[in-house]
Chain A
Amino acid sequence: MDKLQQHTINRDEPVISIKGLHKSFADLQVLNGIDFTLYKGENVAILGKSGTGKSVLIKIIVGLLKPDKGEVIALGKQVDRLNQKELDALRLRIGFSFQSSALYDGLNVYQNLAFPLTMNQKNISKKELNIAVERILDAVGLKDKMKQMPSDLSGGQRKRIGIARTLILKPEIMLYDEPTAGLDPITSADIIQLINEVQQRFNTSSIIITHDLTCAKNTSDRTAMLLDGKFAKVGTFEEVFNTDDEHLKEFYNYNFIQD
């Protein structure tokens, strides 16, 4: 499996900065004081058990959810203070890959990829559209699936198209929500390779939400472990799991890691 190659991380340029973030749903406290910074060119994997608020965190970053307390600054903008127009402009610079891929059922692969472009660039010509779609399908290795419907694709192919749909808008930040969830180890390895290729080819900064240690180890510069609504530990993969903390050891021991 290809590991994330050496690349430049600009530690003077934070692209996402989170301070004192709290979020609850009804009486359930999910995030309880998150502090975190993502730097330009950096890949960070956020690990945690199911239901610990990993997906909630990235949904707050793109403004799908509002924080109860704390601030989230993405690409220099405080997300919860933006009006709809400003938020839309920011969202064009942040790609969000859903756990379920969230492909539009009624549209084929070409239409799925063309849709965000035509909706955001009113004057785009048919020729430009075709070139953009072909280029992005080529990047994810699915050029031959252009006319297929999402229901005809395998889980791994759906993930790839989901990632392609976000990449077509040329984002500066990629947020991956459980990119390898529900996939077999070989397809997972393909997706991990794709995440690394995206980083190198498009020079994105990424947050990878996962509970798959293989994915975290092979895609991230830093790893953060979310526990009880807070980051229990942030560092390189080895730093996080070279620990005596019972919770981290338990999480590590239940995972099978492929190098």
Chain B
Amino acid sequence: MNNFRIRKYIFTKKIDQFFEDVYDASKFLLRFFKEAFKRPFHLNELINQCFEVGLRSLTLITLTGFIVGIVFTKQSRPSLSDFGATSWLPSLMGIAIIKALGPLVTALICAGKVGSGIGAELGSMKVTEQVEAMEVSSINPFKYLVVNRVLATTITIPVLVFYCSFVALLGAFVNVHIEEGSSFLAFYNNAFSTITFIDITESIVKSVVYGFTIGIVGCFKGYNATQGTRGVGRAANQAVVFSMFLIFIEEIIIVQIFDWIIYS
């Protein structure tokens, strides 16, 4: 008995697959919004996931943030000193770290650390039938696994962004203190003198959007993993690649929107 027939494609296999993926991702996103506001709410699991997300990347964010602060300050100094403007370093660092570096560095670290973790964890649960086991026990796996994780990244990553920005500013201060001997108070007064409410808002908007992106992409890739352990590896890998790609796209869009708000 031959049960197989040759499958026909509308365009080519890859193009058809791309549109199928976009359709699946849209459905997944809509389902998230539908389930997120529906009872029951698993508060304990949400807190547990927030803790996981925060804890998973805290050490790396501390180290990276501090190094970014030092290196960025060190490399900016020669350009400013050419114009005799090294006193502007704290305010330059303040605006650069709060508006751009803090959110971007944190998001990229979390995409690698948290996004891949979510992709691998859900992928592994999917291929070992743990997701189906929840379904047959009358537990909504989407609500329990996906919604809680996406909410956790959306809530926790903005907190990590502020933490990373603070640590990066601390790094910048260390460098400025060594080179110029400025005091902590003078540095922070200077650094925050140019930061406005809209800059803080931009940072918050970016971090919320990046947090949501990392969570939803990790969950989408993990929840739809197939083909055994190979699929788990692919889900983790794609979670990182797609999150990073989307984060850069979102960065461009958000910057444009806020520029338009500021200058219009």
A residues whose Cβ falls under 8 Å from a Cβ of B: 26-29, 59, 62, 64, 84, 88-89, 91-92, 94, 96, 98-100, 102-105, 115-116, 119-120, 122, 165-166, 169, 228
B residues whose Cβ falls under 8 Å from a Cβ of A: 1, 3-5, 7, 40, 124-125, 128-130, 132-133, 135-140, 144
Bound Cα distance A102, B126 (Å): 10
Q: Given A27-B3, A28-B4, A228-B1, is A102 in contact with B137 using a C-beta cutoff of 8 Å?
A: no
When A and B form their complex, which 3 residue pairs have the shortest distance between CB atoms, in order from nearest? A102-B133, A88-B138, A116-B137
Q: Given A88-B138, A116-B139, is A102 in contact with B132 using a C-beta cutoff of 8 Å?
A: yes
Bound Cα distance A62, B140 (Å): 14
Q: Which residues of chain A come closer than 8 Å to B144, judged between CB atoms?
A: 119
Contact of B136 among A26, A29, A96 (CB under 8 A): A96
Contact of A105 among B125, B136, B138 (CB under 8 A): B125
CB-CB nearest in chain A for B42: A119
Q: Given A100-B129, A105-B124, is A91 in contact with B3 using a C-beta cutoff of 8 Å?
A: no
Question: Given A59-B132, A105-B124, A122-B40, list of 14 further CB < 8 A pairs?
Answer: A27-B3, A27-B4, A27-B7, A91-B135, A91-B136, A91-B137, A94-B136, A96-B133, A98-B132, A100-B129, A102-B129, A103-B130, A104-B133, A169-B138
**Contact B3–A102 (Cβ < 8 Å):** no
Bound Cα distance A104, B133 (Å): 9
Bound Cα distance A228, B140 (Å): 34
Minimal beta-carbon separation of B66 from chain A (angstroms): 32
Q: Given A100-B128, A102-B129, A105-B124, is A64 in contact with B4 using a C-beta cutoff of 8 Å?
A: no
Minimal beta-carbon separation of A31 from chain B (angstroms): 12
Bound Cα distance A165, B139 (Å): 13
Q: Which residues of chain A come closer than 8 Å to B136, judged between CB atoms?
A: 62, 64, 91, 94, 96, 166
Minimal beta-carbon separation of A53 from chain B (angstroms): 11
Q: Given A29-B3, A105-B124, A105-B125, is A64 in contact with B138 using a C-beta cutoff of 8 Å?
A: no
**Contact B130–A104 (Cβ < 8 Å):** yes
Q: Which residues of chain A come closer than 8 Å to B7, judged between CB atoms?
A: 26-27
Q: Which residues of chain B come closer than 8 Å to A89, judged between CB atoms?
A: 138
Bound Cα distance A8, B165 (Å): 71
CB-CB nearest in chain B for A120: B138
Bound Cα distance A84, B143 (Å): 13
Bound Cα distance A228, B3 (Å): 10
**Contact A27–B137 (Cβ < 8 Å):** no
**Contact A169–B137 (Cβ < 8 Å):** yes
CB-CB nearest in chain A for B6: A27
A-B contact pairs, 30 of them (CB 8 A): A27-B3, A27-B5, A28-B4, A59-B132, A62-B136, A64-B135, A89-B138, A92-B138, A98-B129, A99-B129, A100-B129, A102-B129, A102-B130, A103-B130, A104-B125, A104-B130, A105-B124, A105-B125, A115-B139, A116-B139, A119-B139, A120-B137, A120-B138, A120-B139, A122-B40, A165-B133, A165-B137, A166-B136, A169-B137, A169-B138
Q: Which residues of chain A come closer than 8 Å to B132, judged between CB atoms?
A: 59, 64, 98, 102
Bound Cα distance A64, B135 (Å): 8
Q: Given A98-B133, A102-B132, A102-B133, is A28 in contact with B3 using a C-beta cutoff of 8 Å?
A: yes
Bound Cα distance A100, B138 (Å): 19
Interface centre among B5, B40, B124, B132 (most CB of A within 10 A): B132
Q: Which residues of chain A come closer than 8 Å to B40, judged between CB atoms?
A: 122
Bound Cα distance A23, B20 (Å): 22
Interface centre among B3, B129, B133, B140 (most CB of A within 10 A): B133
**Contact B128–A102 (Cβ < 8 Å):** yes
Minimal beta-carbon separation of A195 from chain B (angstroms): 18
Bound Cα distance A92, B136 (Å): 8
Q: Which residues of chain A come closer than 8 Å to B5, judged between CB atoms?
A: 27
Bound Cα distance A29, B140 (Å): 29
Minimal beta-carbon separation of B122 from chain A (angstroms): 12
Minimal beta-carbon separation of A180 from chain B (angstroms): 17
Minimal beta-carbon separation of A84 from chain B (angstroms): 8
Q: Which residues of chain B come closer than 8 Å to A94, judged between CB atoms?
A: 136
Bound Cα distance A116, B133 (Å): 10
Bound Cα distance A115, B133 (Å): 11
CB-CB nearest in chain A for B40: A122
Minimal beta-carbon separation of A124 from chain B (angstroms): 14
**Contact A91–B130 (Cβ < 8 Å):** no
**Contact A91–B128 (Cβ < 8 Å):** no
Q: Which residues of chain B come closer than 8 Å to A62, judged between CB atoms?
A: 135-136
Q: Which residues of chain A come closer than 8 Å to B139, judged between CB atoms?
A: 115-116, 119-120
